[in-house]
Amino acid sequence: MKFLRLGEAGAERPAVLDAQGRARDLSGVVEDISAATLAGGRLAGLDPSALPLAAEGQRIGPAVAGIGKIICVGLNYADHARETGNPLPTEPVLFGKATSAICGPNDDVEIPRGADRTDWEVELGVVIGKRAKYVTEAEAPAHIGGYVLVNDVSERRFQAERGGQWIKGKSHDTFAPVGPWLVTPDEIADPQDIDLWLDVDGVRRQTGNTRTMVFPVYHLISYISQFMTLLPGDLICTGTPPGVGLGMNPPVFLKPGQVVTLGAAGLGAQRQRMVSA
């Protein structure tokens, strides 16, 4: 199934897509699409056709409410590592992204004050559905609540030249558009065979497939669970394929007024307009 959240920021209502791709109102079944919903199993066996249609034309909010933490994986595509001038990692490179960066898939994205190297990164996101601590790769699939499309927006100067951790360049408000849908694992035949793409002003910049990840999804869940407990609603951003602005010659970065569109097979699409903070 494909779950989504509709309405103004902070007042979204849960919904689900029916077989015709129409949004059906879920608010009579669950309060929200959240960690508690994922962990409770209340949506199993749901018949979307029995639910009322949601009003059309509503804003789409972040696909999951109350995300507890965002764990990102850097340099997880070999060709992306090369384009950024970094060696291929021998273990997953992990960093955090503030949850205050989360926004809807089609919301405006702010370019921070003093920024001049704001970049794009289309990614597969994995939402945890069951507590995971010291899990094996074989056990990892049972801990997935669903998959989402994410744009891991980055300010490269803040990331690389302002000292300390990457989180500085990853966490500005609106730097984590999530959605449009939370797609349940049964709809994704193989998380290591998902096409990804991203355009800037209609020009294709990124084209990739998750099969070229250095560390695949199940390995990442197992690996991260050795260092911290993953809880229902946590989000893992699994890395980006090549084609980011930093990797171009010369580098190209985003400006106010530009439009970024991105998508992934089975996970929907996003559209963001760049604005000044």
pLDDT at 192: 98
pLDDT in tens, 83-134: 888 888 999 999 999 999 999 999 999 999 999 999 999 999 999 999 999 9
pLDDT at 162: 84
Q: Is-cis flag, bond preceding 52, omega within 30? A: no
Q: In what order do the strands lie in the sheet with 70-74?
A: 23-25, 13-17, 2-6, 182-183, 144-151, 122-128, 235-237, 70-74, 93-97
Encoded tokens for 162: 């302002």
- Please state the φ and ψ torsions of residue 21, each to the nearest 5 degrees: 80, 15
pLDDT at 36 over 90: no
Model pTM score: 0.96
Beta bridge partners of 2: 183
pLDDT in tens, 186-243: 999 999 999 999 999 999 999 999 999 999 999 999 999 999 999 999 999 999 999 9
Q: Which domains does the chain have, with CATH numbers?
A: 60-276 (3.90.850.10)
